Structure formats: C-alpha cells, structure tokens
Structure 1
C-alpha cells in the first residue's frame, strides 16, 4: 500500500521509531539485488533515511558505483503483519557532521554504535513510502 509522503500517519511514523532491524537493497554492477540487514533511521521532516556503515562495505560500494546521481535503493522493515518500505536515491557521505548526525540518530533508535574510523553514512532521499503499520 502506497502512502503520501507528506501525510504519513502516526502508526507508520511510530513504526520507524521502534527498535526494528531493516534490510537495505542495493544493486550490484550486474543488476542483481544485494540485500543486507541494517539499522536505519528515517526523518520524515526532510524525507531522509540514513544507514551508517563502513566505507569498504559492499552496500557502500554499490551506492558509490552509481555515481553522483545516486543509486536507487529500498529500505524495508517487517514485524509480523506490519511492514514498511522506503524507496529513494542513495548517496554516500563521509562529511564528519553528516556522519555524526547519523550516529546520533542511530543511537536514539538502537544503541550507541562502536567506534569506526571508516564510518560513512548512506543518505537516502526518500521518494516513495509503502507499507502497512
């Protein structure tokens, strides 16, 4: 079920604040999907989802391979009959302020992550929301 990004209801937004593991789907160079478990956050005010990761991870390399235009990705979480998917264009940032902001948001939803000098953030400009929460 598609949702209006500018009128997301409270249950949908609350679901994105719960401690839920997600999956991030990126595309490999050959076009096949690469799906991995991640922790993610969603800011409905800016329609930005964030995933912290090491710069050497396959998901980061897949996004970087798409170039400046960004990579089309899907971020999904499921809990029994409740599910939510955010789709959009992803880009990788290693800007210290962006990484620190993503870490702060991650810590609010999950826990403080371990130190990682190679940490970057995958920022997703969300343009589609699907689900039933």
Structure 2
C-alpha cells in the first residue's frame, strides 16, 4: 500500500517508533544488492518528503556503496517487518559527517532504541531523502 512519506498516518508512524531492527538495501558498484541489518529512524517532517537516518561507521560497506554512487546520492530502501506488519521507506541516500548532524541522529537513535550508542569518532549518518513509503502497519 502506497503511503505519503511526509504524512504517513498514525499507525505507520507508530510502527516506525517501535523498537524494530531494520534492513538497509544499497547497491554495490557492480549493481548487486547489499542488505544489512541496521537501526533506523524516520522523520516525516524532515526535508521535502521526510528523512530516514542510519548511524554507522564511516568504513562500512554500506557507506562505501552510497559514496560510490556519486554526489547525486544512492537509491536505497530501508525496511522493517513484524508479523503481518511491514514498512518500507525508499529514497536517495547521502553521507553526512557534520558533528551536529551526527549528534542529532544519535539522539534520534537513542530515543527509538532506548540506548545511547558508545561514542565513535568514525560515526557518520546515512541520511535518506525519502521519495516513497509503503507498507501495512
């Protein structure tokens, strides 16, 4: 079911606020998919159609995949599922390194996952400008 990512509805947004492990799909330079478990946050009020954020190490394969796509960003999808409920956010990912952006993403992660990650000087944010949302929550 298609959903407006900037106006997702209460049940969809509530699902994205529950403690759920997600998957992030990026494309390797050879075009094959790379799918990895992540913690993700969803901000429907950020950007034009909403923003999803993932904190990670700057040396990870997912970061390399996003960077390899070039300055236009990489097409990605972040998903979560629980029983018959599921949700997918699609968009264009870019890597953000600014201290205030990383701190904001860490705070959002801590709020969703009820724990503050250990400090990491190599932490970056995969910031996804959303273009599409779908699911059944």
| TM-score computed with the length of structure 2 as normaliser | 0.95
Kindly state the Cα deviation for residue 44 of structure 1 after the two structures are TM-superposed: 0.7
Question: Any idea what SS the aligned residue of 1:16 has?
Answer: helix
**What is the distance in 2 between the residues matched to 1:38 and 1:6?**
22
Residue 101 (structure 2) aligned to one of 80, 98, 101: 98
How many residues align structurally?
133
Partner of 1:49: 52
**What is the distance in 2 between the residues matched to 1:109 and 1:125?**
19
Kindly state the Cα deviation for residue 114 of structure 1 after the two structures are TM-superposed: 1.2
Question: Any idea what SS the aligned residue of 1:15 has?
Answer: helix
Kindly state the Cα deviation for residue 112 of structure 1 after the two structures are TM-superposed: 0.5
1:80 equivalenced with 2:83 (yes/no): yes
**What is the distance in 1 between the residues matched to 2:87 and 2:65?**
23
**What is the distance in 2 between the residues matched to 1:122 and 1:30?**
20
Residue 119 (structure 1) aligned to one of 91, 113, 123: 123
Alignment RMSD: 0.7
**What is the distance in 2 between the residues matched to 1:132 and 1:67?**
33
Kindly state the Cα deviation for residue 9 of structure 1 after the two structures are TM-superposed: 1.0
Q: Which runs of 5+ in 1 are unaligned?
A: none
Kindly state the Cα deviation for residue 67 of structure 1 after the two structures are TM-superposed: 0.9
Q: Which runs of 5+ in 2 are unaligned?
A: none
**What is the distance in 2 between the residues matched to 1:66 and 1:106?**
25
| TM-score computed with the length of structure 1 as normaliser | 0.98
